[in-house]
Amino acid sequence: MQGMWNSKLWACRANAYLPPIHYLLFLSLIAGFVLLEAPSWAKAKERSDQNLQIFFIDVEGGQATLFVTPSGHSMLIDTGWPGFDGRDAKRIVTAAKAAGLKKIDYVVVTHYHTDHVGGVPELAKRIKIDNFVDHGPNQEDSDVTRKDFAAYQKAVAHSKRMVVKPGDTIPVEGMQVQVLTAAGEHITKALDGGGQENEFCPSEAKFEEDATENARSVGVLVTFGIFRILDLGDLTKKKEMELMCPTNPIGKVDLLVVSHHGWNQSSTAALVHALHARVAIMDNGAKKGGSPEAWQTVHDSPGLEDLWQLHTSLEGGKEHNVADNFIANTGEGDQDKASSIRVVAGWDGIFTVVNTRNGFEKTYRK
C-alpha cells in the first residue's frame, strides 16, 4: 500500500498523466488525510505498517538512535557506552523488542569514541546484528581510541562489515540512507533539494583542524517519502564548514539530530541555520553536552519549531534548557529511568515526537 501511495505522489509531482477515475480517487485519498488528526503515540504505534519509527535511546550522553521501517527493517546509529553491567546494550535491546525486532539489520558506528562504539561488544552478545557499517580504520592518535577500535574489531571479526565513503548508500529496505561524510571526507555533489548558496558561511569564524575521530564521523541523511532527518555524528566545526560552504549541498531537513550532543565543538550556524530544520533533538546527558553556545545556535535556527533534549543540561542552567515537557529526563537523578524520545514519521512529512517520560507529544505538519 505504501508503495502505491509513493508512486502516486511522485507521479503527481512530475505532472504525469493519471486516468480521470484514478485521479479522482487519488484526490479523495489526499483530502481524507488532510481531515485526519495526527495519531497519538499509541495510535501511531498501531499504524507502524505505514510509518517510520525512530527511537532516541538514552545512553547517558552517548548516542544510540534506532530506525525501524514499516516493513520491519532496522538501522541503529551508534551503541552508547561499555560497562555499567551492559546498561546501554540492555536499553537498546529493550527498544528493539518494543519495535518488534528480533535482530538489527545494520549498526552504523559513526566513529570510534567510547560513547559511540563502546557498546558494540555487549550488544552483539544480546541481539543478532546482520551488518556493521563504519568509515574504516581508526584515524586518532590516542591510546583510549586505539583500545576502543581494537575491541570493536574483535567484536565484528566474524560479522559482515561495510566500510562507507561519502556518496555511498546503506541499503536499509524501506528508507533511503545516504552517506554524506566519512573518514574526514564529504560529498562534493549536491543532493536533490540542495545546491543553494549558503548565506551563513561568510559570517563564520575560521576553525582549526580536529585530529580526533569526531572529524571522521560517518554522517547520514535518512529519507522516508518526503520526510528527511540528518545525523552527522560528532562532526566538528571545520568539517561542517567544508561540507556546507560556499553552497549547501543538503537543502532543508525536517529533523536534525544535534551534532556532538550539543557540545560547542560542533553546530555552526553555517550548518544548523542553513538546514532550516523544523525540529531538533539533542542526545545530551545531564553532565555531557548541551553547551549554552551550541544550544543557542540550535534554538535560534530559522524555522525551528521545537528543540527536544534527552536530559536537562546542568551546564545550560535555566536559560539554556527547553521546557520540561520537551526533556525526556529532567534531573541528574533521572539516569535510572532512561526515558527516551520517540518519533513516528509518515511518508507525507508529517511526524509526531513523543516524550516517554510523561507521554507528552506534538505533531508537526508541513
Residue with cell 538546514: 275
For 192, the grid coordinates are: 536533490
Distance CA 288, CA 83 (A): 17
12 and 158 assigned to the same domain: no
pLDDT at 354: 98
145 and 92 assigned to the same domain: yes
Contacts of 340 (CB under 8 A, 6+ apart): 55, 56, 57, 58, 95, 310, 328, 356
22 and 104 assigned to the same domain: no
Q: What is the domain count for the chain?
A: 2
pLDDT at 49: 67
17 and 86 assigned to the same domain: no
18 and 95 assigned to the same domain: no
For 124, the grid coordinates are: 552483539
227 and 323 assigned to the same domain: yes
Is-cis flag, bond preceding 246, omega within 30?
A: yes
pLDDT at 366: 84
Q: Tens of pLDDT along the chain (366 residues)?
A: 444 334 333 333 334 334 444 433 333 433 443 333 333 334 444 445 699 999 999 999 999 999 999 999 999 999 999 999 999 999 999 999 999 999 999 999 999 999 999 999 999 999 999 999 999 999 999 999 999 999 999 999 999 999 999 999 999 999 999 999 999 999 999 999 999 999 999 999 999 999 999 999 999 999 999 999 999 999 999 999 999 999 999 999 999 999 999 999 999 999 999 999 999 999 999 999 999 999 999 999 999 999 999 999 999 999 999 999 999 999 765 555 789 999 999 999 999 999 999 999 999 998
Which of these, 146, 116, 292, 125, lies nearest to 217 by C-alpha position?
Answer: 116
CATH number, residue 157? 3.60.15.10
Range(s) of the domain holding residue 13? 1-36
Distance CA 285, CA 310 (A): 7
pTM of the model: 0.86
206 and 228 assigned to the same domain: yes
pLDDT at 336: 54
Distance CA 300, CA 71 (A): 36
Distance CA 298, CA 277 (A): 9
Q: What angle do CA 348, 350, 356 make, to 5 degrees?
A: 140
27 and 151 assigned to the same domain: no
Which of these, 149, 170, 148, 159, lies nearest to 125 by C-alpha position?
Answer: 159
Which amino acid, 209? E
Coil vs helix vs strand at 224: strand
62 and 22 assigned to the same domain: no
Distances in whole angstroms, Cα of residue 52 to Cα of each of 32, 102, 115, 224: 20, 17, 25, 7
Distance CA 154, CA 112 (A): 13
4 and 25 assigned to the same domain: yes
32 and 59 assigned to the same domain: no
25 and 45 assigned to the same domain: no
> What are the beta bridge partners of residue 364?
351
Are 183 and 164 in contact by the 8 Å Cβ rule? The answer is: no
